[in-house]
Amino acid sequence: MSDYKSEPIKGTQGDVQSHDKKQSWFYSDIVKEHFFNPQNFLDRDPKEGEFNAIGKVGSPACGDELRVWMRVDSATEIIIDYKWKTFGCGSAIAATSMISEMILEKNMTLEEARNIRPQDVMERLGGLPARKFHCSVLCDKATRDAVNDFYRRAGKFDKIVVEASRIICPVTRVTDRDIEEAVLEGAITLEDVQKKTKVGIGNPGVLPAVEELILFYKEKYFG
């Protein structure tokens, strides 16, 4: 299986600025290396029986969609292969590439992979622009989705972990916990919370529920 390779590009090349000039950002060299030279992505359709766990998060309407395919050793629950496809911006592609490396280099078990937090991926990437963090690190969610999928297929229903928090937006998989965190970080309008989480972008049906939650947490924390 050959992954697409290109000349890795380092340094200050490849930075962009927001077109409305409200904010600019710079990606770290590690982010750029994974973006320009992504690792472990699936450059074709999966073959029948090649993988035994599949995970998905996001939709193209909200700007990011991730899919992951894993081959897991049933006896040891070690992830032997981890492939992915991502529709998204530079940081989304880099983050997915990075998590694949983190999982494969350490021969992680399902349990270990499940415990990877977005912060862990970001740390390995050498940081991400603040406004990119919530919306582009979705790879941990896609991975957990695949872990559950493995247990579902294996009939080990007791091992499926339903996200402790409640998913508010099925498209972006933003949970009530994500919204609580956004409010705590100072986002108290729908617009601000959307900037942080992308909740409801391309899926406006969930907005009334989101607004209700914002109000709830706002009153809870800021009276």
Q: How far is the CB of 87 from another protein (least distance, A)?
A: 4
Nearer to another protein, 39 or 175 (CB): 39
Extract the runs of DSSP E, i.e. beta strands, from 73-222: 79-87, 167-169, 174-175
Distant-in-sequence, close-in-space partners of 219: CB < 8 Å, separation ≥ 6: none
Q: How far is the CB of 183 from another protein (least distance, A)?
A: 17
Nearest by Cα to 52 from 20, 81, 29, 32: 81
Q: Which residues bind another protein (CB under 8 A)?
A: 4, 6, 9, 13-20, 22-23, 35-36, 38, 41, 43, 60-67, 85-90, 92-93, 131-132, 135-136, 191, 194-195, 198, 201-202
Q: How far is the CB of 154 from another protein (least distance, A)?
A: 24
62 is an active site residue: yes
Q: Residue 173: phi, psi to the nearest 5?
A: 60, 30
DSSP-derived secondary structure for 139-159: HHHHHHHHHHHHHHHHT-GGG
Sequence letter at residue 81:
D
82 and 101 in contact (C-beta within 8 Å)? no
Nearer to another protein, 1 or 162 (CB): 1
Structure-block tokens of residue 207: 């907005």
DSSP letter for 20, please: T
Taking the C-alpha atoms of residue 210 and residue 216, their distance in angstroms, rounded to an integer, is 10
Nearer to another protein, 20 or 105 (CB): 20
Nearer to another protein, 38 or 118 (CB): 38
Q: Is 22 helix (H, G, I), strand (E, B) or coil?
A: coil
135 is an active site residue: yes
Q: How far is the CB of 159 from another protein (least distance, A)?
A: 26
- Catalytically active residues are 62, 135
